[in-house]
Amino acid sequence: MLLVFDVGNTNTVLGVYEGNKLIKFWRIGSDKQKTSDEYGMLINDLFAHSGFELSQVESIIISSVVPDVMHSLENFCKKYCNINPLIIGPGIKTGLNIKYYNPKQVGADRIVNAVAGIEKYGYPLIIIDFGTATTFCAISDKAEYLGGVIAPGIKISSEALFQNASKLPRVELLNPGMTICKSTTQAMQAGMVFGYAGMVDKIVDTMKKELGGGDIKVIATGGLANLISSETDRIDHIDPMLTLYGLKIIYDKNK
């Protein structure tokens, strides 16, 4: 059994593979204060609830954009699974040709998504990840990782609006179904959903021009992909498990 971790700034998604099949996944909060023992108890409970045991884990691979979590998470792997985890970073074989000025600056999640996207959907390709930040990644017709765009995530923007405007409430991120809104809550929701959909349209259109046009698939992943994709026709596929799939591919390249 392979245990995979996708550690984001807000949430951590972990899953287990049996052979090539993802048989279970969970989403937990990314907590910088959590100890290795707390991770051990939490993940052991998640396993037990699904009829698994930590002793079944044979290998572990981790993608993380939160360095402060890694000490506890690595210690969990060693203490509770007796495994030294494979960690996405320098020296790991990905098969990805990265054209960034400094490849070390590319987030681990963006690399993993690109590997998965190329394998699953071909290229050229645009991948949008709706996470704490919203990232857009461009893959060339030669399967090269060219770079992309990083924008504040929709939750960050919503929270900033609440914190910095005295009379505006914290609102749930929902599509109000209209832009001429008759309540403050709906007006804020419309601003978030339609504003981000407009951003997606503009960035995707510009990226496609820079990639030379033609048949360029656009893949969306991340927790809020469904919310935004309902208001744009630029997204071809929603793939919530894209990163976990990429982790399995990279594990196979390095085992």
List residues with catalytic annotation.
109
CB 143 within 8 A of CB 135: no
> What's the DSSP call for residue 126?
E
CB 18 within 8 A of CB 26: no
Q: How far apart are CA 41 and CA 34, in angstroms?
A: 11
169: closest CA among 183, 152, 182?
183
CA–chain centroid gap for 153, Å, is 12
Three-class secondary structure of residue 137 per DSSP? strand
* Ordered alpha helix ranges (H), 81-143: 108-121
Contacts of 130 (CB under 8 A, 6+ apart): 153, 154, 220, 221, 222, 223, 224, 225, 227, 228
Torsion sign over Cα 157, 220, 27, 186: positive
Q: Return the structure tokens found at 10.
A: 């807000």
How many residues are recorded in the chain? 255
* Ordered alpha helix ranges (H), 122-240: 154-164, 184-210, 225-229
Q: Tokens 């469904």 belong to which residue?
A: 226
